[in-house]
A and B are shown apart, each in its own frame.
Chain A
């Protein structure tokens, strides 16, 4: 039963930056640029990347929290941003989100009951009794108990607060759930609990997940498809197994090799990237990654690579893989432009 639940088409989200002087050229934070992807019903879709890559902005745009400056979002074949206000609210009830920080995601003045029942209360279709009953049901589903009904968030630990947030998110039986780094702010020994809970709920309630994380090992375990983002662009996308078996994009390669694995004996050959992550304000033209890419060529500076299928269910946007397209008219496009700046920016090889 795989049909497309959510489709993103050439999505761009650019924020204007207030320039300090009145006559300066308007700068923009190009958080997300020209991203297209499809999410199948029932799957877990991963978005991977480092800071500034736009993953949170992309997720926010997908569920209607941030209006895109370009492109479209189709949820169940409806153009999300051209719906009327009422229709929009209706559709959005099927999309919910779990936030990274368990401390700011619950209103400290609300009781647990008020927090979890708020979506129901806003919708206004249930009586008080029904809401209490349902809230107790939800609490038990996430591993808390009905004694917690009238307590305040400050009585709970980080992991428990995250559970409350999850209960709130699933209260209206959404079809689509965005998990924005759901365990990063929690203690390590609690990660597994929350992740297992999320997986359990997905099967039970038949939801589609978008899972945002910088923890590649977790992504590998639970995501069916994923996209690797860098500075607002998709670098590589496709089936998780395909990407991890055969990471093609130089950035994906570097990312995977940089991950410190707990299985330290199988630590991969490290590709250390030069320099730091540039700012998404006025990002580099052409391929956004060329400044740090170990395979950068002259043509990469001006020509933007397209996402092209390399093997079934595996797409990469890289000139080094596909070669330069015809419309890219740069002389000596294939000339390498990689410079070594410091001793630490070279390939360091396996760690002892």
Chain B
């Protein structure tokens, strides 16, 4: 299988006066064509930094990045200079940001902003670009696209702005779209609309989607494969069904358990103690051990390796749960 995106050994650090902040500590990602892959984690886990790193948008200073392999559909991105990356960004990889209001230029009409993408990457003339823009707006379900194209971002609602971002991202039909918390700031009903649009566009045009979020419910409804990230490291990788039916890592188990569902009758929430470690002051051994109910001396001293399981599953744990493989017994 030739993955659309292949990332091996991605590492990002932020040196500062007090030490080194290890944001991303060697992660591997594989995204197939037309697949939706989710990168799930909380604040401080390094997921946003990962997305910027893949697009090579991290400035050095303050960041330092190192990656063994960064290949987009057989195009090696690692050695590319910034000018060369500019050709790739927008055309082959594009990004949807969380806050549409800051991602859009407030003094340009939205139509012109989408036009720019077409003009830059597809070398269309202004007229042709405008036609393509109107078509793109129609595809994402913006009513009266010709009229909307002449409006400014502040005249549109949050959901509408997010659709504009989606239109911009899909404009040149890139191979990969990275969506960083695309619906976190939106209301429930609007979120549903926007995710629908995103999912449909992605499936219809066979575009690979890297969805970065902290919201497991969004992931449960959108993703095919899920990577769970904790404090800079990938701690679990599984397909959606496997992850929710039989999570292996105690963090994943805790996270899924603590989120209430509309369909269960519980009245007490399963809680994970303590809080996420600060990226500058990480624990020894396994980063999750201070919060893990199954931690042993081994967990406190040694970082577990990423274990491979059949069917592409991976877990980073000395005692993966839920499958009897030396799980319950520890010294």
Contact = CB atoms under 8 A, between A and B. Distances in A.
User: Is there a contact between chains A and B in the complex with CB atoms less than 8 Å apart?
Assistant: yes
Interface of A: 50-51, 157-160, 187-193, 195-196, 199, 214, 216-218, 220-222, 244, 254-264, 266-267, 270, 272-273, 276-277, 341-345, 348, 351
Nearest to B185: A51
B82 interface: no
B185 to A, nearest CB: 10
A263 B187 contact: no
Contacts of B276: 157, 187, 189
Contacts of B270: 192
28 contacts: A50-B190, A160-B275, A189-B42, A192-B270, A192-B271, A195-B269, A196-B269, A216-B188, A221-B267, A254-B189, A255-B188, A258-B188, A258-B191, A260-B192, A260-B217, A260-B218, A260-B221, A261-B261, A262-B256, A264-B220, A272-B192, A272-B196, A276-B158, A276-B159, A277-B187, A277-B189, A344-B196, A351-B199
Best-surrounded residue of B216, B273, B275 (most CB of chain A within 10 A): B275
B255 interface: yes
Interface string B258-288: 1111111011111111011000000000000
Interface residues of B, number: 53
Nearest to B40: A188
B10 interface: no
A256 B188 CA distance: 9
Nearest to B192: A258
Contacts of A261: 217, 220-221, 261-263
Contacts of B197: 344
A66 to B, nearest CB: 22
A348 B196 contact: yes
Given A188-B42, A260-B217, A217 B188 contact: no
A188 B259 contact: yes
A159 B189 contact: no
Contacts of A158: 275
B189 A262 contact: no
Contact of B259 (A262, A266, A272, A344): A262
Contacts, number: 142
A160 to B, nearest CB: 7
Interface string B165-195: 0000000000000000000000111111101
Interface string B110-132: 00000000000000000000000
Given A276-B160, A342-B141, A262 B244 contact: yes
A192 B217 CA distance: 15
B91 interface: no
Contacts of B302: none
A242 to B, nearest CB: 15
A188 B254 CA distance: 10
A173 to B, nearest CB: 24
B115 to A, nearest CB: 22
Given A216-B262, A258-B189, A260-B218, A276 B271 contact: no
Nearest to B272: A189
B187 A264 contact: no
A192 B141 contact: no
A276 B190 contact: yes
Contacts of B199: 351
Given A214-B188, A270-B192, A191 B258 contact: yes
Contact of A189 (B157, B191, B254): B254
Given A222-B267, A260-B220, A187 B214 contact: yes
Nearest to A195: B269
Best-surrounded residue of B189, B195, B266, B276 (most CB of chain A within 10 A): B189
B272 A192 contact: yes
B43 interface: yes
Contacts of B221: 260-261, 264, 267, 351
Nearest to B199: A351
A220 B137 CA distance: 37
Nearest to B269: A192
B179 to A, nearest CB: 15
B143 interface: yes
Given A188-B214, A263-B261, A157 B275 contact: yes
Nearest to A251: B189
Contacts of B193: 272-273, 344
Contacts of A266: 263
